[in-house]
Amino acid sequence: MSERAGPEARILERGYRRFEGVRQGRGHAMRSLMAHTLRRILGLRRPARAKVLPLMSIVFAYLPATVFLGVVALFGRFGGRAQARQLVPDYADYYGFIVSAIVLFVAFAAPEALCPDRRSGVLSLYLASPLTRMTYLAAKAASVAIVIGAVTVGPLLLLLAGLTLQGVGPDGPIEVMKVLGRIVAAGVALAAVFTAISMAVASLTDRRALASAGIIFLLLGSGVVGGILVAGLGAPAEAFVVNVVRSSLEVVARIYGESDTRFAAVDTAVVAAGTAAWALTGAAVAVLRYRRLQVTR
């Protein structure tokens, strides 16, 4: 027996139609590229193996904060919350626990964002779209900065929120806002420096593994060079800014009003200038590389 079509029945034609709507502009293209790149870095809509590294980095970054909050909560049940707070490091010191996770994420994120586009030739499709070389690079940099920010800002925010909710956070809303501001400033500064440096290295090769190795080599190698300069050759303490990881963490410490005792005599302006020089050099290398990159003849 056949059923009769009701009044709501429609014939839907599947097929290509001309587009009559309004086309969005450059900002829309950049947002779309950012979202696509974020998904790519985090391994979303990709095979399971693509999710392993980003997941590991995020777990490593957030695990210490989760453990510290758990310890405070556990001690709190037995009335020792204030003592437990003593076990939790200061916000500036927290970066010492997660620096490995940050380096891992930095070494992985920018190569994943930039290298496959050049290696697979997708870049030529992007440059045949409303994006330009510079808007493409800006969108990619923003994506990398956001994911790096997820491990430089996120865990500290979790720690602040957890401690505040358990009554062992900063005293009063004004103090909370002050700490919040420092967390954001420090996390953004770290994300900016590491984004610029990792983008520069990733812009120099099409191979992700090579770019990741290059980034790790640069981050660790600069530490070795900085150490040799200051400890081995007796260079002034200011020379430690050659060590990009150390100088970035020192910027973080200064934002929290603290300092590494070894570099306490170094002026904050020198620390900031040295770290900014790293960031600007990295950005300049990436920009120059993409300006001159030959995509198609």
Partner 1 sequence: MRAEAVGKRWGTTQALSGATFEIGPGITGLLGANGAGKTTLLGLVLGMHRPDQGRLEVLGRDPWRLGPQVRARLGYAPEHEALPGDVRAHDVVRHFAEVHGLAAREAQTRASDALWEVGLGEERFRPVGTMSTGQRQRVKLAVAIAHDPEVVLLDEPTNGLDPVQREHMLGLVRRVAHDLGLNVILSSHLLEEVERVSDAVLILDAGRVVRSGPLGELRGGDRPELLVEVDAGAPAAERLVGELARHGVSGVAAGASVVVSLDSDAVYDVVRDALVDLSLGVRRIERRRASLEDVFLAAGEGGA
Closest CB to partner 1 among 129 and 281? 129
79 binds partner 1 (CB under 8 A): no
Q: Which is nearer to partner 1, 19 or 78 (CB)?
A: 19
Size of residue set near partner 1 by CB under 8 A: 39
User: Of 59, 74, 87, 128, which lies in the binding site for partner 1, with binding defined by CB under 8 A?
Assistant: 128
In this complex, which beta carbon is closest to partner 1, that of residue 16 or of residue 78?
16
- Is residue 292 close enough to count as binding partner 1 by CB under 8 A? no
CB 166 within 8 A of CB 69: yes
Is 12 a residue that touches partner 1 (CB under 8 A)? no
Shortest Å distance, C-beta 141 to partner 1? 17
Neighbours of 40 (CB within 10 A): 19
Binding piece for partner 1, criterion CB under 8 A, among 16-24, 70-78, 269-277, 282-290: 16-24
- Confirm or reject binding of residue 134 to partner 1 (CB under 8 A): no
Region near partner 1 per CB under 8 A, out of 24-32, 154-162, 202-210, 244-252:
24-32
Q: Near partner 1 by CB under 8 A, which window of 21-29, 66-74, 212-220, 273-281?
A: 21-29
Residues 32-51 that bind partner 1 (CB under 8 A): 32-33, 36, 40, 45-47, 50
Options 61, 84, 131, 218; binder of partner 1; rule CB under 8 A: 131
CB environment 85-98: b (16+ within 10 A), e (fewer): beebeebbebbebb
- Least Å distance, CB 134 to partner 1, is 11
Report the alpha-carbon distance of residue 220 to residue 214 in Å, rounded. Answer: 10
Q: How far is the CB of 212 from partner 1 (least distance, A)?
A: 17
The nearer residue to partner 1, 29 or 88, going by C-beta atoms, is 29
In the chain the first and final C-alpha atoms are separated, in Å, by 64
Q: Which of 1, 5, 10, 16 binds partner 1 (CB under 8 A)?
A: 16
Where on the chain is the footprint of partner 1 (CB under 8 A)? 14-19, 21, 23-26, 28-29, 32-33, 36, 40, 45-47, 50, 116-117, 120-122, 124-132, 135, 295-297
